[in-house]
């Protein structure tokens, strides 16, 4: 989807200079098929020696004229007689009844002919092979560049079946990560029209700028002039046989409404070509030194990348040495119609901020990518009666059109979870009952053991009781015994008591420690 322009039928190049002391102006004009004269370019005030070239892209009879005006101020006397315009040289190619200025290679026919000249013209889409000097067809998906050197290098990538012009097929594919988007712009193939304004002249006359845009190029945009032939138009009941027109990818006309001039029809004049060359389409903002400026337009609300179509014009002007350039920005908007809406930047109502690069925003539902399985997801319903419903819905927000259709609702066999839930509930209840029963059993058993233990302790305490002593003091007349003759009494420990009970051996009431 990259390419070059229409066929170049002729070229005129001239060198000139102007020496002025006032507001002089030099006009370069052309007349196509002797119908009307239009200004191609003009230069005001003094101009140093320079060269200007104009390309003729229409197969018609054309005459060129120059006009020099010393001043636009009316006067009864001649003034500024020393102001001059000098044309040093004029070079014209493909002139009628002209003389040859150089030799050019010709194609030799492969079949013998009775004609006096062995040279034959090459059909469209063929080039002269440098080795065989015969016409050779361009390879597939290439076009023939009119300005490239002779040979296979003239065949450039892309091109329609006749290999003479390149335009888009209105399909675009963009890959980002694992996601691939395909755009089908066929609905935008017809010529789009934009009329902006109104604007007003210094005298208050209202006028509009009319833009015709052929996005893909299958049907070229056409802008017509009817200013010169307006009387002919009215006399022939609307048949504009004398009007002139330009055809290109993008063209511009100046429209003066009929209401503002008291006429029966609107005036269309100053039709110019803005783009006769399709350079390519991409999501990037730069292509072949042409830069799109996304900041000129409002930010897109949808999460879909804009697609930029880049164009240029072969015709250079005094202000645009590299020719005019055009960027058409396509933006997906599902809420718009198929034909959509074309707009220009709010800060540049004429469509251009510098006079050389034009920017257009085309919002349309047809600029949305084609739908694919990645644009919808599946919702699984509950399993009822051994069947489960599968429902498909679009991802929100939906930013695709056409393409894959949304699958129909369907049912698939499934295993119900209700029986498993009931079984789990029963098992859970049984486990709870069993746990409670075991808890009660061990609690009762523990209580019984505690009771037995307490009875055992009580019985052991009764057996270990002794009669109380009358007195522990030393009576008069008694002497203290020696420490080694002292008898110590102590009670047996609880562990020993339990051990003796376990072995059914009754321990002595007291243990004597000597």
Residue ranges of domains in the chain: 1-102, 103-166, 171-367, 373-419
- 152 burial via Cβ count (<10 Å: 0-12, 13-18, 19+): middle
Residue owning tokens 């399993």: 383
For residue 19, the tally of other CB atoms under 10 A from its CB is: 14
Residue with the larger pLDDT of the pair 277 and 75: 277
Structure tokens at 47: 């101009």
What is the distance between the alpha carbons of residues 379 and 162, in angstroms, rounded to a whole number? 51
What is the distance between the alpha carbons of residues 300 and 455, in angstroms, rounded to a whole number? 91
pLDDT mean over 90-111: 66
pLDDT mean over 420-431: 85
Residue with the larger pLDDT of the pair 58 and 43: 43
- The pLDDT, as a whole number, for residue 75 is 76
Band (pLDDT 50/70/90 cuts) for residue 513 is very low
Structure tokens at 299: 């930010």
Band (pLDDT 50/70/90 cuts) for residue 475 is low
Band (pLDDT 50/70/90 cuts) for residue 466 is low
Residue with the larger pLDDT of the pair 184 and 142: 184
CB 256 within 8 A of CB 269: yes
| β-strand partners of 176 | 179
Q: Which fold has domain 171-367?
A: Cation-dependent Mannose-6-phosphate Receptor; Chain A (2.70.130)
Band (pLDDT 50/70/90 cuts) for residue 31 is confident
Evaluate the omega torsion of the peptide bond into residue 212 and state whether it is cis, within 30 degrees of 0.
Answer: no
- The pLDDT, as a whole number, for residue 153 is 52
- The pLDDT, as a whole number, for residue 363 is 93
| β-strand partners of 326 | 311, 358
- The pLDDT, as a whole number, for residue 93 is 78
Residue with the larger pLDDT of the pair 159 and 280: 280
Exposure string for 326-347, b = 16+ CB within 10 A, e = fewer: bbbbbbbbeebeeebebbbbee
Helices (H) and strands (E) in the chain, counts: 3, 32
- The pLDDT, as a whole number, for residue 201 is 80
For residue 210, the tally of other CB atoms under 10 A from its CB is: 20
Q: In what order do the strands lie in the sheet with 192-200?
A: 192-200, 206-213, 250-256, 267-275
What is the distance between the alpha carbons of residues 284 and 294, in angstroms, rounded to a whole number? 11
What SS3 class is residue 454? helix
What is the distance between the alpha carbons of residues 41 and 48, in angstroms, rounded to a whole number? 16
Please state, in angstroms and as integers, the Cα–Cα distance from residue 405 to each residue in 139, 375, 402, following that order. Answer: 38, 10, 7
What is the distance between the alpha carbons of residues 408 and 326, in angstroms, rounded to a whole number? 44
- Report the residue count for the chain: 514
Average pLDDT in the chain: 77
Residue with the larger pLDDT of the pair 322 and 75: 322
Return the DSSP state at 370: B
- The pLDDT, as a whole number, for residue 168 is 75
| β-strand partners of 286 | 291
For residue 509, the tally of other CB atoms under 10 A from its CB is: 12
Residue with the larger pLDDT of the pair 16 and 156: 16
What is the distance between the alpha carbons of residues 376 and 370, in angstroms, rounded to a whole number? 12
- Model-level pTM? 0.57
pLDDT mean over 75-92: 85
For residue 322, the tally of other CB atoms under 10 A from its CB is: 13
Phi/psi region, residue 447 (left: phi>0; alpha: psi -120 to 50; beta: rest), is alpha
What is the distance between the alpha carbons of residues 278 and 281, in angstroms, rounded to a whole number? 9
Model confidence over 280-311: pLDDT tens digits? 889 999 988 899 999 999 988 777 889 999 99
């Amino acid at each position: 989807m990259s390419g070059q322009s229409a066929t170049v039928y002729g070229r005129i190049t001239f060198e000139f200079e102007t020496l002025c002391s006032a507001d002089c102006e030099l006009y370069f004009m052309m007349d196509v098929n002797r119908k009307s004269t239009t200004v191609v370019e003009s230069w005001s005030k003094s101009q140093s020696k320079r060269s200007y070239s104009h390309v003729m892209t229409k197969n018609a009879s054309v005459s060129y004229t120059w006009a020099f005006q010393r001043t636009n101020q009316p006067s009864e006397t001649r003034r500024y007689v020393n102001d001059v315009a000098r044309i040093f040289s004029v070079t014209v190619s493909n002139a009628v009844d002209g003389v040859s200025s150089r030799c050019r290679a010709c194609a030799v026919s492969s079949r013998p002919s009775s004609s006096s000249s062995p040279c034959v013209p090459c059909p469209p889409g063929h080039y002269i092979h440098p080795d065989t000097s015969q016409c050779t067809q361009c390879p597939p998906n290439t076009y023939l560049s009119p300005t490239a050197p002779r040979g296979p290098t003239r065949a450039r990538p892309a091109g329609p079946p006749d290999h003479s012009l390149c335009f888009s097929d209105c399909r675009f594919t963009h890959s980002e990560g694992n996601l691939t988007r395909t755009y089908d712009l066929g609905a935008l193939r017809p010529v789009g029209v934009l009329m902006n304004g109104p604007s007003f002249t210094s005298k208050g006359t209202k006028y509009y700028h009319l833009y015709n845009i052929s996005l893909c190029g299958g049907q070229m945009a056409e802008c017509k002039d009817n200013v010169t032939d307006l009387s002919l138009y009215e006399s022939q009941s609307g048949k504009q046989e004398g009007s002139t027109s330009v055809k290109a990818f993008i063209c511009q006309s100046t429209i003066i409404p009929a209401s503002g001039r008291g006429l029966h029809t609107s005036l269309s004049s100053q039709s110019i070509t803005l783009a006769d060359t399709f350079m390519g389409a991409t999501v990037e903002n730069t292509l072949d030194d042409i830069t799109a400026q996304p900041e000129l337009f409002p930010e897109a609300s949808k999460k879909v990348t804009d697609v930029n179509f880049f164009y240029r014009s072969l015709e250079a002007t005094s202000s645009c040495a590299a020719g005019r350039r055009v960027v058409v920005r396509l933006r997906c908007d599902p809420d718009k119609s198929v034909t959509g809406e074309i707009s220009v930047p709010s800060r540049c109502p004429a469509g251009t901020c510098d006079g050389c690069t034009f920017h257009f925003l085309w919002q349309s539902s047809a600029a949305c990518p084609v739908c694919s399985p990645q644009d919808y997801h599946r919702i699984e319903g509950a399993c009822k009666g051994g069947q489960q419903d599968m429902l498909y819905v679009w991802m929100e927000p939906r930013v695709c059109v056409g393409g894959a259709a949304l699958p129909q609702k369907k049912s698939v066999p499934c295993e119900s979870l209700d029986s498993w839930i009931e079984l789990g509930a029963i098992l859970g209840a049984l486990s709870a009952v069993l746990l409670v029963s075991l808890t009660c059993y061990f609690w009762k058993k523990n209580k019984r053991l505690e009771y037995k233990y307490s009875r055992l302790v009580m019985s052991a305490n009764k057996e270990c009781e002794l009669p109380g002593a009358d007195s522990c003091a030393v009576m008069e007349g008694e002497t203290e015994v020696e420490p080694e003759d002292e008898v110590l009494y102590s009670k047996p420990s609880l562990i020993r008591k339990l051990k003796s009970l376990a072995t059914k051996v009754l321990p002595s009431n007291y243990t004597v420690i000597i």
